[in-house]
């Protein structure tokens, strides 16, 4: 049995001191691959750090995109860098991109423009998209319909936090839906109902590490090994076995983001 963590931020300072140990724990938990998301532009060099990690560890891939929080400082230089990287093997997707009306760190009109421009870039490059959405589903789906219509390379609504109706809307547009540790939280009834609305062939699991550690590790730094807790929770909720859920979500990851060689996420 093998699990894939389809979304983690391993380039962050939270993992700077002990990443080899973090990845060894992931390997021991049955995690065979991690998509270590990379964001273009920040002064901390997170995208370049993600690329460097992919070169060091065989079980990692990455992505490239401008997060909605940083849309206000997007530049042509960032777009050129994303375009350059879109053709490189470690970069499996454009993302994470989208809209965030909860924090509003960037003005909403700028978020919408930068999101639309990146959807067009992904469509032209033939790359799937990793979508971030908080309190902005109507605008996000509208922009998807206008700037990333079918047929396209697909995408995933990451760290899903909506309800069953939104999940169905995502699936109807050919998207995958990825669930993280927040599905295990006490007040997440709507998210749990959404889990049941997603077909097995559209389901993914993730950590969004270092954020949103699942029960029973809530409050701790999240890490890829904890995706097993998410998978176990979803398997119980969907009344299936962990092995079947792991098999389905791993196959879904490969269909969306491309194949990878099975084996140790980090050399023993």
pLDDT confidence bin for 43, thresholds 50/70/90: low
* pLDDT computed for residue 263 by the predictor: 63
Domain residues for the domain of 86 are 3-257
pLDDT confidence bin for 265, thresholds 50/70/90: confident
At a CB cut-off of 8 Å and minimum separation 6, what does 67 contact?
39, 96, 97, 132
Alpha-carbon gap, residue 225 to 248, rounded angstroms: 18
* pLDDT computed for residue 57 by the predictor: 93
Alpha-carbon gap, residue 146 to 148, rounded angstroms: 6
| Residue 209 bridge partners (DSSP) | 8
Domain-embedded: residue 59: yes
Contacts 24+ apart (CB under 8 A), 108-114: 108/136, 108/139, 110/71, 110/72, 110/74, 111/68, 111/71, 111/136, 112/139, 112/143, 113/71, 114/66, 114/68, 114/71, 114/74
Residue with the bigger pLDDT between 267 and 173: it is 173
Residue 112 sits in a domain whose CATH number is 3.20.20.140
- Name the average pLDDT for the chain: 95
Domain-embedded: residue 264: no
Report the half-sphere exposure of 162 (CA within 13 A, side-chain side).
24
DSSP code of 209?
Answer: B
Domain-embedded: residue 72: yes
At a CB cut-off of 8 Å and minimum separation 6, what does 33 contact?
2, 4, 5, 59, 60, 61, 250, 253, 260, 265
Domain-embedded: residue 265: no
Domain-embedded: residue 133: yes
Alpha-carbon gap, residue 211 to 231, rounded angstroms: 17
Number of domains in the chain: 1
* pLDDT computed for residue 39 by the predictor: 85
List pLDDT tens digits, range 46-94: 899 999 999 999 999 999 999 999 999 999 999 999 999 999 999 999 9
pLDDT confidence bin for 107, thresholds 50/70/90: very high
Domain-embedded: residue 190: yes
Name the least confident of 37-46, 227-236, 259-268. Answer: 259-268
Name the least confident of 35-44, 47-56, 166-175. Answer: 35-44
Domain-embedded: residue 177: yes
Residues belonging to the chain: 268
Domain-embedded: residue 267: no
List pLDDT tens digits, range 119-151: 999 999 999 999 999 999 999 999 999 999 999
Alpha-carbon gap, residue 153 to 4, rounded angstroms: 20
């Amino acid at each position: 049995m093998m699990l894939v963590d389809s979304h983690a931020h391993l380039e962050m300072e939270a993992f700077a001191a002990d990443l080899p140990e973090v990845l060894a724990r992931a390997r021991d938990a049955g995690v065979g691959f991690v998509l270590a998301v990379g964001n273009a532009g920040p002064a901390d060099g997170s995208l370049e750090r993600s690329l460097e990690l992919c070169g060091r560890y065989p079980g990692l891939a990455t992505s490239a995109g401008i997060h909605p929080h940083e849309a206000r400082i997007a530049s042509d230089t960032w777009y050129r860098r994303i375009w350059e990287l879109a053709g490189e093997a470690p970069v499996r997707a454009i993302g994470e991109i989208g809209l965030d009306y909860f924090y509003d760190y960037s003005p909403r009109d700028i978020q919408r423009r930068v999101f639309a421009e990146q959807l067009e870039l992904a469509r032209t490059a033939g790359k799937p998209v990793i979508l971030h959405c908080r309190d902005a589903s109507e605008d996000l789906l509208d922009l998807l319909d206008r700037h990333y219509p079918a047929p396209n390379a697909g995408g995933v609504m990451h760290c899903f936090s909506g309800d069953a109706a939104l999940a169905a809307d995502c699936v109807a547009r050919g998207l995958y839906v990825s669930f993280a540790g927040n599905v295990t939280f006490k007040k997440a009834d709507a998210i749990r109902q959404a889990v049941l609305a997603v077909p097995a062939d559209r389901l993914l699991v993730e950590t969004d590490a270092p954020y949103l550690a699942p029960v029973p590790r809530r409050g701790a730094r999240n890490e890829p090994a904890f995706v097993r807790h998410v998978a176990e929770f979803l398997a119980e909720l969907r009344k299936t076995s962990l092995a079947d859920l792991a098999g389905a979500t791993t196959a879904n990851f490969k269909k969306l983001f491309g194949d990878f060689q099975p084996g140790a996420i980090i050399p023993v």
